[in-house]
Chains A and B, each alone.
Chain A
Amino acid sequence: MTISFQINGQAKSMDIEDGNTPLLWVIRDMLNHKGTKFGCGKAACGACTLLIDGEAVRSCSYAVKFAAGKSITTIEGLGNKENPHPVQQAWIEEIVPQCGYCQPGFMMATAALLEKIPQPTDEDIDKNIINVCRCGTYYRMRKAIHKAAQIKAESIDPINS
């Protein structure tokens, strides 16, 4: 079957034998976007989190057939070195990663959170950011999430910042 979607702003049509193939596999192994990680394969750890039409989704548990006609954003499409997303900028400023493996998933979940709740409280973070980091960088991530909210607000309203 042919499945068409947008990924990081680019239209793609993929010939997929099994429409139930996890989207993660298509993105990593067929499209060669390696930023989205395989962690547990059970939608438990969140390393594979990406955005589909702006919503955070665990891509290891998302059949590629459901992506038809949708817009996918991975960590590669969130921003770049010249123009980082506020979440990426905050992650750099707070020197969040240790091993780094789980961080793209956290950053994508955070990007989704800030679209829903521009200034999240610690409680909002606890409820919405439930990915797993075996290095235990949670403390620095919390700081970075607040920092990202601040950067995002300033970028939207630079005059009053």
Chain B
Amino acid sequence: MKKRLHFSLLFLGLVIFGFGLASSTGYNTYYVSETDSVENASSSEAFDKMMQVLTHERCVNCHPNDNVPKQGADSHPHYFGITRGDENMGYQATNCATCHQSENNDYSGVPGAPEWSLAPDKMKWEGLSRVEIAKSMMDAERNGGRTPEETLHHLTEHELVLWAWNPGLDANGNLREVPPVPKDEYIAAVKEWFENGAVIPSE
């Protein structure tokens, strides 16, 4: 009985601490937690579906770990020695917009979308596991200071992200590969994962 009382007090304390932390960081709706096992099977399924997309080269090619954008299904380094530059958009006179516009160009096979650029260096995903990517994107230190709500918005509404399902033709006139999960299913999965507390499973 005494043991149960201690456990209840400990649990109550953790809940209060958790609310305080959420309130102080402004993260009132969502939180990130790690568990040994994801109890909610639905959330786990949503996480799996979301990460099938976020680990696909359509996403990771623009989240490099070496400041070099990648291209294609084989994620080869961007041709012509293109690198990040100071503002994630290449160099002063030769930058992303020298070739990439706000839409795909099916005449040249050059892809394009609004705000075409590399993800900032802190958002490097290349080489990370799906759990590491999830931790990175929920960490305000590494996600550009985004709240969970803003991360949800980026993942489900940002035109550059959703371009992954409209990647256009490549330079040989072939359709680029899209992520393995249909867009609507991906968006629903991301929303479900956030609604269920953005639980990141252990490795």
Chain A, 26-50, contact with B by CB distance < 8 Å: what is the 0/1 string? 0000000000000001111000010
Nearest Cβ in chain A — how far from B200, in angstroms?
38
Chain B residues with CB under 8 Å of A21's CB are: 107
Which residues B55-97 have CB closer than 8 A to chain A? 79-83, 85, 91-94, 97
Query: Contacts A61-B99, A62-B101 known; A127 to B110 CB distance under 8 Å?
Result: no
Tell me if A's interface is mostly helix, strand, loop or mixed: mixed
Q: Once the chains bind, are B97 and A128 in contact (CB under 8 Å)?
A: no
Tell me how many residue pairs across A and B have CB atoms closer than 8 Å.
79
Q: Once the chains bind, are A116 and B93 in contact (CB under 8 Å)?
A: yes
Chain A residues with CB under 8 Å of B94's CB are: 56, 109, 113, 127-130
Which residues A52-75 have CB closer than 8 A to chain B? 55-58, 60-63, 66
Chain B residues with CB under 8 Å of A42's CB are: 108-110, 171
Query: Contacts A58-B99, A63-B101 known; A41 to B93 CB distance under 8 Å?
Result: no
Nearest Cβ in chain B — how far from A105, in angstroms?
11
Query: Contacts A42-B110, A61-B108 known; A55 to B98 CB distance under 8 Å?
Result: yes
Chain A residues with CB under 8 Å of B82's CB are: 130
User: How many residues on the B side are at the interface (Cβ–Cβ under 8 A)?
Assistant: 23
Interface residue A155 (Cβ < 8 Å from any Cβ of B) = no
Q: Once the chains bind, are B93 and A61 in contact (CB under 8 Å)?
A: no
Interface residue B139 (Cβ < 8 Å from any Cβ of A) = no
Q: How far is the CA of A109 from the CA of B90 in the complex (A)?
A: 14
Q: Once the chains bind, are A128 and B92 in contact (CB under 8 Å)?
A: yes
Q: Once the chains bind, are B92 and A61 in contact (CB under 8 Å)?
A: no
Interface residue A20 (Cβ < 8 Å from any Cβ of B) = yes
Question: Can you identify 24 A-B contacts, CB atoms within 8 angstroms?
Answer: A21-B107, A22-B105, A22-B107, A42-B171, A43-B110, A44-B80, A55-B98, A56-B93, A61-B99, A61-B101, A62-B105, A63-B105, A63-B107, A66-B102, A109-B94, A116-B92, A116-B93, A124-B91, A126-B81, A127-B81, A128-B93, A128-B94, A130-B81, A130-B82
Q: How far is the CA of A146 from the CA of B105 in the complex (A)?
A: 34
Chain B residues with CB under 8 Å of A57's CB are: 97-98
Chain B residues with CB under 8 Å of A43's CB are: 98-99, 105, 108, 110
Chain A residues with CB under 8 Å of B81's CB are: 126-127, 130
Query: Contacts A55-B98, A56-B98, A66-B101 known; A109 to B93 CB distance under 8 Å?
Result: yes
Chain B residues with CB under 8 Å of A61's CB are: 99, 101, 105, 107-108, 110
Nearest Cβ in chain B — how far from A27, in angstroms?
14
Selected from A58, A66, A117, the residue in CB contact (under 8 A) with B93 is A117
Most buried by A among B83, B98, B102: B98
